Amino acid sequence: MSLLREAERCFANQGSHAALNALITTLHQSGQWLERVKDADARRTRGTPKSKVDGRLIAFKDNICTRDLPTTCASNTLDKFISPFNATVVQQLQDAGALIAGKANLDEFGMGSHSIHSKFGPVRSLRCDHDAESLSAGGSSGGSAVAVATAQCYASLGTDTGGSVRLPAAYTGTVGFKPSYGLVSRWGVVAYANSLDTVGVLGSDVSSVRNVFDIVNQHDPRDPTNLSPSSRSRIDSHLRMPALASRVTSSLKIGIPLEYNISELAPSSRRAWSRSLAYLRQQGHTLHTVSLPTTKLALSAYYVLAPAEASSNLAKYDGVRYGNRPEGPDNITSTEGCLYANTRGEGFGSEVKRRILLGAFSLSADSMDNYFIQAQRIRRLVQHDFNAVFRACQPLNSPGLGKNLDSGEAGVDVLVCPTAPSPPPRISSLMGHGATTSSLEAYVNDIFTVPASLAGLPAISVPVTTGSAKNSEDSDLAGIQVIGQYGDDGLVLKVAELLEGKHL
Amino acid sequence: MLRPWLRQCPRATRSLACSQCHLPRPQFTRRTLNPRSLSQPIRTLQTTAAESPDRVPLRKQLKQDAKAVKARKRQTRENEEASRQKWELTVGIEIHAQLNTESKLFSRAPTSSTDLPNSNVALFDLAFPGTQPEFQIATLLPALRAALALNCDIQPVSRFDRKHYFYQDQPAGYQITQYYEPFAKNGYVDLFAHDGIAPEDGDMVRIGIKQVQMEQDTAKSQEYPPSTQLLDFNRVSHPLVEIITMPQIHTPATAAACVRKIQSILQACNAVTTGMELGGLRADVNVSIRQRGDAAGAHQYGGISGLGQRTEIKNLSSFKAVEDAIIAEKNRQIAVLESGGVVAGETRGWTIGSTETRKLRGKEGEVDYRYMPDPDLPPLYIGADLVTELRNTLPTSSDALIELLAGPDYGLPLEDAKPLVELEDGARLEYYQEVVDLLRALQQDQGPKAQKGLARVAGNWVLHELGGLLTKADLAWDGERVPAPTLAALIDQLQRQRITGPTAKQVLAMVFDGDARPIPQLLEEENLLLRPLSREEYVALAEAAINLNPAMVEQIRQKNQLGKLGWFVGQMMRMGEKGRVEAPKADAILRELILEGRS
């Protein structure tokens, strides 16, 4: 299929699936994209494409800054905001010939697990349950996931702070990849929790995800948390050591984290997990149970650390230099008696306010030691847990510090586990008067995704189907997560490829 | 510019201040060597006006006023002393100083604050969504120089933290600072008597520096009540150092001396842009008191326990404000405690010229800054090699310079050494050094005894004679006005007794006013070289002078009124050829003729 044909189909799908509310800003009929895609087609015909994504339409989560389109973060405070610059990832993909398919809907500032906390209304998944009830698209990159699932774009970029790319991928049947922290530039990505925020890629298959990842996996000096060229080459030479290089051809050691087998695990999720493991064993790989004892604490630590950073990052939205600001004075003399009370009160939605308050509390002088510091300790323990089970060591740890040598023969190459503990809930159960799920319950959906975020590890969610092959009514779609050691992004993508789209 | 040191430098004060009220020397104003000297203002008019009879009552009035002020001051001093005997004051200081850097702390925007408002601002400085800090390594250099000059231990690893509060001048809603792990700790600053410390602190006190940290400055805001604020973000994120002293200061004067000394140290090592007078340096002070000999107080600050409840006075912008605010706050706290009250831990403000500090916010209104490590900024690793290099290239400290100048090599009085080091950021000292070097070279043929005094003589000419001319003309320092080789040549002529002292001063004034002729040529052409008079010529002059006023001769002889000899010396100078009559010789001849003749 020509690139033009593909782009035109994406454009048509954006129109026909508008009701899903996946995109906040869409392609325009008259936009320049048509000409650019035609140019790319011409380059492709000549055999000189700019890259594998030349002429492809890529949707960007609306917390990734674009110069030409608004960047709203799905927030009232930024609903007309246009950034004066492109995020590095946008620039990199445009330089590679890709086009902006639109700006994807999300939970405000990335805070949420179902993409329902948006100023522009909730994202709807194409999937329905047996009673034809709309299901959650997952969040917070739900718009990016639905746009991919309904072919409104070739692939999309999301952000993953505690699972925000992987969870919607699992709920929508797409592939969602969170690379190792520091590989992809965050310059121009609106911060939610800087130490966790990772730009991730969503696609209909692993190869499209890899094509996009290869473009954005580059050093960017403007992001101080981005890996330097020297760190990147350290990781490369580490992975070229014979013991690790041989994994590409030999059988892999697959780790099964015992602590992920929780009692709340939905039967369909457990079935997808066990059948995926069985399939991998059939393919000649070996299975090994491992223990990650700090897993249970990870979710609590995440919901202390992420809101703490969020409360700090979101302090800048005061309506003074950009963003919305209500009429009239908003200073100490106003009725509320607090500087910016009106601007921030009207600018933020309830979930964002909740997390700002949580964060402000855990950072306050009397709580700091008991919450923030403790959570950082847990975060360190989570990292130790992972380092203890992987065959490869954390390549950036300086040698001679604690347990740093490879776990040797005892260690596993990747961990395989469910992405979410249960299938997507109905949107009606999450919103409005029918809501039966509290915020706290929504947080539980992140239980399997948060540990890899805390440790900065590469993790991917791939869709697998279980049940009767003949009767799709009885079959269940679930996301299976593959987690690798830091820097082992290539291996994680490879294992994902083994599983993707399998009917087990 | 001179004011900061004038107070502690009586000699310089005298010579510089007096030169303003002196009548211009006749030869100075009468010379018409170039157009510039014509335009010299004539200052005699003012002094004569003050002498007119109808102003006398005013003078009396002024005298009485001065007396009253003196009495009040004495009373205040006595009260202060009495309360000092009973109460011990403890002060700690936080100083914020703008670092001398080209770029901001976390962006490449230039730091210039004189440009058009909001012209030097990067996206990060405005806290635009999606922007990240880019630590500018070069900003570390002046910060390290400052910390080393304050004798701190440089920390191999330090970190940046966010200090949260909402204010218009703080675009991100937080300031990036170094709260948990600052880059420098455990320094000290030595304060000497000549630094202006309180007499009760003796010759020297050492004040510990708890830590030095790097942080961002805020924007400038201009208020237009009731609800308009104009913001200039040029200053936002200008690199600052915050210097926190230990609470080891016990007198207001010493606190002011400490701020003054730290400013001069920062300026000497070129770490800061401007001083307090231009807003480049601001101080907050923590003040507490406790009764002497009493049970220890319940509070602990900076690791020092047993202190009283402290209050903080924010944003003091002059040395005098530091001293005055501490005195006022100390007296307020004493009054509170003596009336049975309790000092509340609160933040207070000070307005210049007032007599009381005022409450800004109490403990209940205290901001919880919610310090958090900045998750975008990696730790700051400072290598030992960099520290060593900077330590080796640090300019000599002013303490060491003063010691050197006051020592045997230069032999300057302490009150001359200090201004020489401090004036014009060291430019005067450089000039002085050049004059001394040149002069020593010129005087190489002289004996060691003559050599020894040269530095002291040069000090007098650079500081007092040249300084006096500058003050009189109301001009800023310019080392090129009288080039160092010219001054050295002039002093050389004087030392060789080829010219008299008054001639040397006259020539200096001519050069100062633009005479560019080389000194030997100038002396030759103006006929200023000393051609010594013979004994016969002196005797003839003396006799002529004596004949003018024989009555006075009798008074000297009869009543031994030797002071009147000076009048005759003056007459001889006036009658003789200008620049040839040497006062000591004239005096000797007069004594011989008048006194020896009486027996």
Helices B252-268 and B319-338: angle between axes, nearest 10 degrees: 150
Q: How far apart are CA B143 and CA B387, in angstroms?
A: 11
Minimal-distance CA residue of chain A relative to B170: A316
Run of H or E residues at B305: strand B304-307
- Looking at residue A398, its pLDDT comes to 62
Q: What distance in Å separates residue B166's CA from the closest CA in chain A?
A: 7
Range of the domain at A69: 1-290+411-504
Q: How far apart are CA A118 and CA A122, in angstroms?
A: 6
The pairing of strands B184-192 and B153-154 is antiparallel
The answer to whether position A342 is within a domain reads no
Buried-state track B366-379, b at ≥16 Cβ within 10 A, e below 16: eeebbbbbbbbbee
Summarised one tens digit per residue, pLDDT across range B541-567 is: 888 888 888 888 888 888 888 888 888
At B259, give phi and psi (nearest 5°): -65, -45
Q: Which residues pair with A478 in a beta bridge?
A: A464
- Asked whether residue B27 carries a pLDDT value surpassing 80, the answer given is no
Q: How far apart are CA B359 and CA B339, in angstroms?
A: 19
Q: How far apart are CA A453 and CA A465, in angstroms?
A: 26
Three-state DSSP state, B281: strand
Q: How far apart are CA B143 and CA B148, in angstroms?
A: 9
- Looking at residue B365, its pLDDT comes to 67
- Asked whether residue B30 carries a pLDDT value surpassing 70, the answer given is no
Q: Which residue has the tokens 């209500």?
A: A326
Report CB contact under 8 Å: B129, A81: yes
Starting at the edge strand that comes first in sequence, how are the strands of the sheet with B184-192 ordered? B153-154, B184-192, B204-216, B239-245, B87-98, B281-291, B311-316, B347-349, B358-361
Helices B252-268 and B140-149: angle between axes, nearest 10 degrees: 130
Please say if A367 is a catalytic residue.
no
CB-CB contact of A166 with A193 (8 Å): no
Candidates A419, A330, A355; CA nearest to A108 is: A355
The answer to whether position A56 is within a domain reads yes
Q: Mean pLDDT throughout B345-360?
A: 86
Structure tokens at A423: 């299938």
Angle at A91 between CA A85 and CA A97, to 5 degrees: 140
CB-CB contact of B325 with B292 (8 Å): no
Please say if A228 is a catalytic residue.
no
A339 vs B contacts (CB less than 8 Å): 166-168
CA distances from B498 to B286, B501, B527, B529, B534 (A): 60, 10, 12, 6, 15
The answer to whether position A397 is within a domain reads no
Torsion of CA B62, B68, B73, B78, to 10 degrees: 160
Angle at B537 between CA B534 and CA B539, to 5 degrees: 110
- Looking at residue B427, its pLDDT comes to 87
Q: What distance in Å separates residue B173's CA from the closest CA in chain A?
A: 5
How many structural domains is chain A composed of? Answer: 1
- Radius of gyration of chain A, Cα coordinates, nearest whole angstrom: 22
Residue in B134, B164, B371 nearest the CB of A315: B164
Going by C-beta distance under 8 Å and a sequence separation of 6 or more, which residues neighbour residue B124?
A: B106, B107, B131, B132, B133, B134, B237
Q: Which residues pair with B97 in a beta bridge?
A: B241, B281
pTM for this prediction: 0.82
The answer to whether position A326 is within a domain reads no
* CATH for A229: 3.90.1300.10
Burial (0-12, 13-18, 19+ Cβ within 10 Å), A396 = middle
Candidates B242, B239, B237, B248; CA nearest to B262 is: B242
Q: How far apart are CA A374 and CA A365, in angstroms?
A: 14
**Which site among A312, A333, A340, A358 would you substitute to test the B interface, given the most B Cβ atoms closer than 10 Å to its Cβ?**
A312
Minimal-distance CA residue of chain A relative to B167: A339
Summarised one tens digit per residue, pLDDT across range B89-109 is: 999 999 999 999 999 999 999
Half-sphere exposure of B34 (CA within 13 A, CB side): 10
Candidates A71, A20, A70, A74; CA nearest to A352 is: A74
Candidates A483, A477, A485; CA nearest to A170 is: A477
Residue in A65, A85, A312 nearest the CB of B162: A312
The pairing of strands A99-104 and A57-61 is parallel
Structure tokens at A480: 């299976």
What share of chain B has pLDDT > 90, as a percent?
A: 49
For chain A, the farthest-separated pair of C-alpha atoms sits apart, in whole angstroms, at 72
B371 vs A contacts (CB less than 8 Å): 363, 368
- Looking at residue A404, its pLDDT comes to 43
Run of H or E residues at A493: helix A489-499
The DSSP output letter for B196 is T
User: If you count residue pairs, one on A and one on B, with CB atoms under 8 Å apart, how many are there?
Assistant: 100
Three-state DSSP state, A464: strand
Average pLDDT, chain B: 85
Q: Which residue has the tokens 């209104």?
A: B365
Of A51, A125, A140, A311, catalytic: A140
Q: How far apart are CA B539 and CA B550, in angstroms?
A: 16
B131 touches chain A (CB under 8 A): yes
The answer to whether position A208 is within a domain reads yes
The pairing of strands A253-257 and A414-418 is parallel
- Asked whether residue B367 carries a pLDDT value surpassing 50, the answer given is yes
What share of chain B has pLDDT > 70, as a percent?
A: 89
Three-state DSSP state, B357: coil
Least confident window among A278-287, B357-366, B382-391, B531-540: B357-366
Summarised one tens digit per residue, pLDDT across range B449-500 is: 778 889 999 999 999 999 999 999 998 888 889 999 999 999 998 988 888 8
Residue in B129, B226, B378 nearest the CB of A190: B129
Going by C-beta distance under 8 Å and a sequence separation of 6 or more, which residues neighbour residue B122?
A: B104, B107, B108, B109, B131
At A426, give phi and psi (nearest 5°): -70, 145
Please say if A52 is a catalytic residue.
no
At A82, give phi and psi (nearest 5°): -120, 120
- Residues present in chain B in total: 599
Q: How far apart are CA A471 and CA A465, in angstroms?
A: 12
The answer to whether position A117 is within a domain reads yes
Q: Mean pLDDT throughout B252-259?
A: 96
Q: How far apart are CA B428 and CA B477, in angstroms?
A: 8
- Residues present in chain A in total: 504
Confidence of residue B10 (pLDDT cuts 50, 70, 90): very low
Q: How far apart are CA B532 and CA B540, in angstroms?
A: 14
Going by C-beta distance under 8 Å and a sequence separation of 6 or more, which residues neighbour residue A231?
A: A182, A396
- Looking at residue B36, its pLDDT comes to 38
Structure tokens at B395: 């300019």
Q: What distance in Å separates residue A332's CA from the closest CA in chain B?
A: 10
- Asked whether residue B50 carries a pLDDT value surpassing 90, the answer given is no
For chain B, the farthest-separated pair of C-alpha atoms sits apart, in whole angstroms, at 103
Q: Mean pLDDT throughout B328-343?
A: 92
Q: Mean pLDDT throughout B402-407?
A: 90
In the structure, how many helices (H) and strands (E) does chain B have? 23, 18
Buried-state track A459-480, b at ≥16 Cβ within 10 A, e below 16: bbbbbbbbbeeeeeeeeebbbb
Least confident window among A106-115, B7-16, B381-390: B7-16
Report CB contact under 8 Å: A223, B132: yes
Three-state DSSP state, A426: strand
pLDDT in tens, chain A (504 residues): 799 999 999 999 999 999 999 999 999 877 789 999 999 999 999 999 999 999 999 999 999 999 999 999 999 999 999 999 999 999 999 999 999 999 999 999 999 999 999 999 999 999 988 888 889 999 899 999 999 999 999 999 999 999 999 999 999 999 999 999 999 999 999 999 999 999 999 999 999 999 999 999 999 999 999 999 999 999 999 999 988 888 878 899 999 999 999 998 999 999 999 999 999 999 999 999 999 999 989 999 999 999 999 999 999 999 999 999 998 877 665 454 688 989 999 999 999 999 999 999 999 999 999 999 999 999 999 999 999 999 999 998 865 444 444 455 679 999 999 999 999 999 988 887 767 667 777 788 899 999 999 999 999 999 999 986 555 555 789 999 999 999 999 999 999 999 998 888
CB-CB contact of B118 with B252 (8 Å): no
Cis-peptide, bond into residue A269, ω within 30° of zero: no
Q: Compute CA B568 distance to the chain's CA centroid, rounded to the nearest angstrom.
A: 43
Structure tokens at B404: 């050197």
- Asked whether residue B42 carries a pLDDT value surpassing 50, the answer given is no
**Which site among B132, B134, B377 would you substitute to test the A interface, given the most A Cβ atoms closer than 10 Å to its Cβ?**
B132
Structure tokens at B128: 């635009």
B174 touches chain A (CB under 8 A): yes
The answer to whether position A336 is within a domain reads no
- Better-scored residue on pLDDT, B392 or B306: B392
The answer to whether position A472 is within a domain reads yes
Q: Which residue has the tokens 């015909």?
A: A45
